[in-house]
Amino acid sequence: MSAVVLGGLLAAVPQAEAAGVTCSANVYQRTFYKNTSFSGSPVRTDCDSGISESWSGSPASGVPSNGFGVRWSVTRDFGSGGPFTFTVSATDGVRVYLDGVRRIDLWKNTGDTSRSKKVDLTVGSGRHTLRVDHVNWTGAAKIKYSYTPRTSATYDRTKPLAPTGVKTAYDTRVRRTTVSWSANREMDLANYSLYRRPVGSGTWTKVTTTTARGYTDPLVNPDDRTPYYYEVRAGDKAGNTSTGSKDTIVEPLPAVTSLTGTYDRATGKVTLKWPLDTEPQFDHYTVLSNDRVDGTYKWVPLGTTKAGTWTTGPVTPDGETRHYRVLVTNDGGTTTYNPNWLDADAVNELWLDIPDGIAPAYAPNLSLGTCESGVKATVTDYTPAPIRDFIGFEVERREAGTAAWSVVLHKAFDPRLDPATATVCDALPGDGRTYEYRARSYDAAGNHSPQSDILATTVTVG
């Protein structure tokens, strides 16, 4: 039974040499020798999908009727492995090897009479190489060989490999999920079982058992908002079941998994960013801001986009916290749940601290007097304590007629006092010069109020 690979299909082998032939998966490469020692270059190389031959004369052009050898070899994936039976029937000499180790040895001239042998052995998981050598000394050349898994639960206790390549697709028209997966590499596969569980639950529910590699879950998602995990398990003919495939989550409604934002001091605008959704059921995002409307705070839509970024209009730098939220709408028209309240734990919600760019509105009062070593400057502000928007005072001084100011006081006021006040004794030499003073308040963000009126005083010559 001979074949070569042509365009991915098996075709009959012409009676001609095919050296360098590459055989398809799990198909033997077969080589013919015009001797029984398998020495020298093979007369012919081709592919054979199974070992079952009966030659009464020459098996191929250039090969003698007697005194020839044929070798089959294949490397294949045995999946999880397990117990197998190797069976061979042949005239004359036949030897069977697994990974180079001889497992069957019938090496005697029998003429036209076949004899057989069967060996039970365990094959490990993964890829292994099989080789069968057959020689014909005289008479007819007959050979049959097979390797088959032992599917009795008495012998096979090896779990199948877990399925791989699990993919899901959610149809918003019917609100159902279709799951597909790759073919399992097991040789004794019986079926697949599909399971589901809601996110947050540890209980799996069997959806179906099937021999196919895909299934549409009949469960109808009531509102497109309930996410489920799916996994697939393989079962073999001995009743062993694999572990589950890697759990695949199906979120019928695409979600914003994180939301970040920055404030640009130069433009006063906030830029929001989030991971762009690539799910097929995605349609668009809606960006919202939590704003005061008619005396209460509400989530106000700023607009919609298909991109993963949004830049707002100018935002007042008031030192307050701004709140933003991004919703997703799928192609079925369902939108992310949008509660009226703030939720600090929601991954699609951002609480962004806006820097304070608003300075204290009014200049403090400044008065000058004398002290032991110079000029006494006193700053006072009469704003009631509960509504003060500053934390300290600053006093500057310069010599009259010059441009440069020097800071002589930068100090927080005593919060226990009302009005707020601070005093500095500015040590100056008694040189008869005239000095000018001005004062302002400052807030925690470093913003300064307008300057007070400039006051001047002359230091008496000492």
pLDDT in tens, 84-114: 999 999 999 999 999 999 999 999 999 999 9
Question: What pLDDT is recorded for position 15?
Answer: 32
Does the residue 160 lie in any domain? Answer: no
Contacts of 247 (CB under 8 A, 6+ apart): 229, 230, 231
Residues 17, 143 within the same domain:
yes
Question: What pLDDT is recorded for position 461?
Answer: 80
d(CA 60, CA 106): 24
Tell me the backbone φ, ψ of residue 458, rounded to 5 degrees. Answer: -110, 130
Residues 108, 10 within the same domain:
yes
Does the residue 255 lie in any domain? Answer: no
Residues 40, 134 within the same domain:
yes
Does the residue 358 lie in any domain? Answer: no
Residues 276, 328 within the same domain:
yes
Average pLDDT over residues 251-272: 95
CATH number at residue 371: 2.60.40.10
pLDDT in tens, 403-453: 999 999 999 998 888 999 999 999 998 889 999 999 999 999 999 999 999
Does the residue 156 lie in any domain? Answer: no
Residues 140, 28 within the same domain:
yes
Average pLDDT over residues 296-317: 96
Per the structure, the complete domain to which residue 292 belongs is given by 260-353
Edge-to-edge strands of the sheet including 296-305? Answer: 296-305, 282-293, 321-330, 349-353
Last residue within a domain, chosen from 123, 149, 175: 149
CA nearest to 378, candidates 402, 409, 340, 417? 409
Residues 130, 172 within the same domain:
no
CA nearest to 43, candidates 74, 64, 57? 64
d(CA 231, CA 217): 12
Residues 244, 275 within the same domain:
no
Residues 32, 140 within the same domain:
yes
d(CA 288, CA 340): 11
Does the residue 359 lie in any domain? Answer: no
Overall pTM surpassing 0.85 (yes/no) = no
Question: What pLDDT is recorded for position 17?
Answer: 37
Residue type at 376 in one-letter notation: K
Judged against a pLDDT cut of 70, whether residue 1 lies above it is answered with: no
Does the residue 208 lie in any domain? Answer: yes
Residues 26, 140 within the same domain:
yes
pLDDT in tens, 11-33: 333 333 345 789 999 999 999 99
Residue type at 32 in one-letter notation: F
Residues 8, 103 within the same domain:
yes
pLDDT in tens, 122-162: 999 999 999 999 999 999 999 999 999 999 999 999 999 99
pLDDT in tens, 434-444: 999 999 999 99
Q: How many distinct structural domains can be found in the chain?
A: 4
What the block records as the tokens of 242 is 């694999």
Contacts of 299 (CB under 8 A, 6+ apart): 288, 289, 290, 325, 338, 340
Strand-pair partners of 51? 145
Residues 9, 144 within the same domain:
yes
Edge-to-edge strands of the sheet including 455-458? Answer: 406-412, 392-399, 434-442, 455-458
Last residue within a domain, chosen from 230, 250, 270: 250
Last residue within a domain, chosen from 331, 353, 375: 353
Residues 426, 382 within the same domain:
yes
Contacts within 8 Å (CB) and 24+ apart, 105-111: 107/135, 109/137, 109/138, 111/138, 111/139, 111/140
CATH number at residue 125: 2.60.120.260
Average pLDDT over residues 311-334: 95
Does the residue 161 lie in any domain? Answer: no
Does the residue 46 lie in any domain? Answer: yes
Judged against a pLDDT cut of 90, whether residue 354 lies above it is answered with: yes
Asked if 403 and 410 count as a contact pair (C-beta separation under 8 A), the reply is no
Beta-strand relationship, 82-90 and 44-48: unpaired
Secondary structure in 3-state letters for the chain: CCEEEECCEEECCCCCCCCCCCCCCCCEEEEEECCCCCCCCCCEEEEECCEEEEECCCCCCCCCCCCEEEEEEEEEECCCCEEEEEEEEECCEEEEEECCEEEEEEECCCCCCCEEEEEEEEECCCEEEEEEEEEECCCCEEEEEEEEECCCCCCCCCCCCCCCCCEEEEECCCCEEEEECCCCCCCCEEEEEEEEEECCCCCCEEEEEECCCEEECCCCCCCCCCCEEEEEEEEECCCCECCCCCCEEECCCCCCCCCEEEECCCCCEEEEECCCCCCCCEEEEEEEEEEEECCEEEEEEEEEECCCEEEEEECCCECCEEEEEEEEEECCCCECCCCCCCCCCCCCEEEEECCECCCCCCCCEEEEEEECCEEEEEEEECCCHHHCCCCEEEEEEEECCCCCCEEEEEEECCCCCCCEEEEEEEECCCCCCEEEEEEEEECCCCCECCCCCCEEEECCCC
Contacts of 386 (CB under 8 A, 6+ apart): none
